Structure 1
């Protein structure tokens, strides 16, 4: 059976967003174990939606559709960043520094893809 990493080995943003989604699932599960259900649910939804929207953009019907889907992914990344910053500010929440660094990188790459797509 082929893995996601094998199938999309040439697509950096897909790989990064997929890897990030896996880490968000694990972080959310850790929050749920500590009865932090509301934040866990919000973070799980936004953090996994980034990659899902990037994946969906790969099969867009037009350049405008591609840009629109990538913008949605970027909005989800911005929301995820908010929840991660919030978790870092709250007592008894696991540290999110490494996840924040990853979402910053995803935002940077996504922004570059959107701006490059608009120019072409």
Structure 2
């Protein structure tokens, strides 16, 4: 099994996010909220899997495409978390929403800088 690239902030952030997401989904499953838990697991873990897949992209276009998919998964994840936040009987997802914000910013910057050829600091 290949190791994650070293010192790759977005890979690390998305992996940590997925772990916390699993724990949140398990809390939902314990409350028998299986449908939402399943949706959250799909979108929340897909962010990191696409970021990780982009690390071995076949081309610049493929790299951008994988990050664009990750960006779409961020949007879907934000939606499900907002839904959970609005349902009083669901555990508060604010900690996940807070962790998703920098991931969204970084993914967006990576897409933009790769398209323009600029290196971000």
When normalised by structure 1's length, the TM-score is: 0.93
Aligned to 2:23: 26
**Per-residue Cα deviation, 1:72-99 (whole angstroms, up to 9, x for no partner):** 0110011001000100000111111110
What SS does the aligned partner of 1:35 have? coil
Which one of 85, 103, 115 corresponds to residue 100 of structure 2? Answer: 103
Equivalences, count? 116
Query: How far apart, in 1, do the equivalents of 2:6 and 2:91 lie?
Result: 31
Query: How far apart, in 1, do the equivalents of 2:57 and 2:80 lie?
Result: 29
CA-atom RMSD in angstroms: 1.3
Which one of 73, 77, 81 corresponds to residue 80 of structure 1? Answer: 77
Structure 1 residue ranges (4+ consecutive) displaced by more than 6 angstroms after TM superposition: none
When normalised by structure 2's length, the TM-score is: 0.92
Query: Unpaired segments of 5 or more residues in structure 1?
Result: none
Aligned to 2:57: 60
Query: Unpaired segments of 5 or more residues in structure 2?
Result: none
